[in-house]
Amino acid sequence: MRWRKLETSDNVEDRRGMGRTAAGVGGVGLVGLLLALFGGLFGGGGDGAIGDLLDQVAQQQQPATDGTQSPEFEGVDESEEFVRRVVGSTETTWEQIFTGSGRQYNPATVVLFGGATQSACGGAQSAIGPHYCPVDTTVYIDLDFFGQLQQQFGAGEAEFAQAYVIAHEIGHHVQNELGIMAQVQQMQQQDQGNANELSVQLELQADCLAGIWANNLYQRDNVLERGDVQAALDAAAAVGDDNIQRRTTGEVSPESWTHGSSEQRMEWFTTGYETGDPNQCNTF
């Protein structure tokens, strides 16, 4: 992923080293993401068959660069810069889409922290993984998570998977901007028996919206590289509820799912990526 070609967001706040603590956790996150990815699930899942569009990407993309830092980025915190660039690309994507439908897109804030920090959803901690708090319209990311991901899989292999995680959380912000999140929360309160199923539908829609962002990158010149989209599919498969349950308990219990199966998550990301049309992301 040639992320240095992407625009920079000004809506990223770096709280690392501030020593803040939090009493609790909250928000809409990729629950179990750390456990799934660091438990060896990454790379298990997608079969690579997502249609002609992926084939075209593979044919058009050039081999990855050697990762040497260009003079422009010397002395720059590359982890923070990476997040700023990915977030900037999501802002461009959703500003274009919202403007095209006569709406105004208000970008989310993305907070980088270490260990724990304060949030309007009761606090943010590393253990919950990257997550979105709708109360303060903020995505919370502990960059140690990305650092461990890079150590295990290599920076090049992990980059687009990391970007997918960010785009998924921004997808929740898009849902919040459109009022979908509030509607789902109201439905969950009124019908608690279907609360988990509604949560699954919300998460799958965020995966589809992440696919919309990936489609926008595909439309750009020389940003995506060979294997990028497959990395996102592998990440989506890794955090499928069935995959996590199978690894942790040896049993699969669909009634307790909150994020969807590996197959569902890959399917909805693919839907967004192949169509580039938010109207196709109706998981409800």
**What is the dihedral sign for C-alpha 255, 258, 262, 265?**
positive
Predicted pLDDT of residue 18 = 65
Predicted pLDDT of residue 149 = 59
Predicted pLDDT of residue 151 = 64
Residues of the chain scoring pLDDT < 50? 20-26, 29-76, 153, 155
Site of tokens 């070609």: 5
Predicted pLDDT of residue 55 = 37
Predicted pLDDT of residue 235 = 76
Predicted pLDDT of residue 205 = 96
Site of tokens 């497959």: 230
Find how far residue 281's CA is from the centre of its chain.
15
pTM (2 decimals)? 0.77
Predicted pLDDT of residue 259 = 82
Average pLDDT over the chain, rounded to an integer: 77
Tokens of 30: 């990729």
